[in-house]
Amino acid sequence: MMEHMKAPTKLVIASRESRLALWQSEHVRAQLQRAHPGCQVDILGMTTRGDQILDRSLSKVGGKGLFVKELEAALADGRADLAVHSAKDVPMELPEGFELAAIGEREDARDAFVCGQGNAQYATLADLPAGAVVGTSSLRREAQLRARYPALQVASLRGNVLTRLDKLDRGDYQAIILAAAGLKRLDLADRIRSYLEPADSLPAPGQGALAIEVRAGRADLAQWLAPLHHAESAACVRAERALSRALSGSCQLPLAAYAVVEETSSGRGLWLRALVASPDGHSVIRDELRAPQSGGDAPEQLGAELAARLKRAGADAIISALT
């Protein structure tokens, strides 16, 4: 058994400098200070390549890793002890020498429908007229939109949450789709006209959860971060990430995965839903699977098994066409 380690006196969090990323890091700082009174927790703000390249879609410039590389460099050279990420932005394969030490309790994982201020009469995607322009930054959302609402126009939308809302309000789009969690965390829930239920827009792996990354082998940090770890949320995120890893997990692949914990006769189990789609939405492969328990390596096994089923059902052909 690991000996109890002395409490930390100072910790440094590496964070992107967007308003949402800083909120997330402030949230983790407050949790750390509650868990370890007297510990000084500083935030090292950084601009990543993902924040700098705003004129092209993520899938075309290197994917989600663009949001974490600079933060990992700060961990590697000792400028920071931990990095706080939106779990959906963390690549499915971490570079050697890094690990996720904690997953925080998940916020609302759904997507949200947001209308421009001059389009308040539209309460849902179904209300939009044919030809209306809907903005999204995600191939996952785009493919599901194209499959369900082929009469709508889907346009690329980059930038932080506030930038995206500004583009909407100046009339570049009739509506946009954003993660509900980010809007709630920024006290912008009043901008949400309606929520897209998972059956209509299945979330991204890790959506709504915070992931804390550290250098591998930091047993001291693992213990200090233990009070911030939420076992149920972690089990769900682990299942989603395992499925994504097994299906390549790249930004070029429209992929969704969403797990929830369920009460079963034998204890707490997992229900995992997933889909793989062609970018145009013409081909959508969906499936779901349940595991009778959520402990041990059950999340990874569930993700791998459902990924294999999706491949057999046709996801392999979609992946091959994209690569």
What pLDDT is attached to residue 55?
A: 47
DSSP characters over 212-256? EEEETT-HHHHHHHGGG--HHHHHHHHHHHHHHHHTT--TTS-EE
What pLDDT is attached to residue 61?
A: 42
Q: Which domains are seen in the chain, by residue range?
A: 10-104+209-229 (3.40.190.10), 111-196 (3.40.190.10), 240-322 (3.30.160.40)
What pLDDT is attached to residue 64?
A: 53
Amino acid, res. 188: L
What pLDDT is attached to residue 211?
A: 98
Is 200 labeled as catalytic in the residue annotation?
A: no
Catalytic residue among 42, 51, 55, 89: 89
Beta pairing class for 210-215 and 111-115 = unpaired
What pLDDT is attached to residue 62?
A: 46
Q: Please name which of 172, 140, 179 lies closest in space to residue 157, comparing C-alpha atoms.
A: 172
Helix (H, G, I), strand (E, B) or coil at 277: strand
Spatial neighbors of 165 by CB under 8 A, at least 6 apart, are: 114, 176, 188, 191
What pLDDT is attached to residue 2?
A: 43
Q: Please name which of 240, 180, 212 lies closest in space to residue 11, comparing C-alpha atoms.
A: 212
Averaged pLDDT, groups of 10, the chain, 323 residues long:
70 95 97 96 83 49 65 95 95 94 98 90 95 94 96 93 95 96 97 96 98 96 96 98 88 92 89 96 96 93 98 95 85
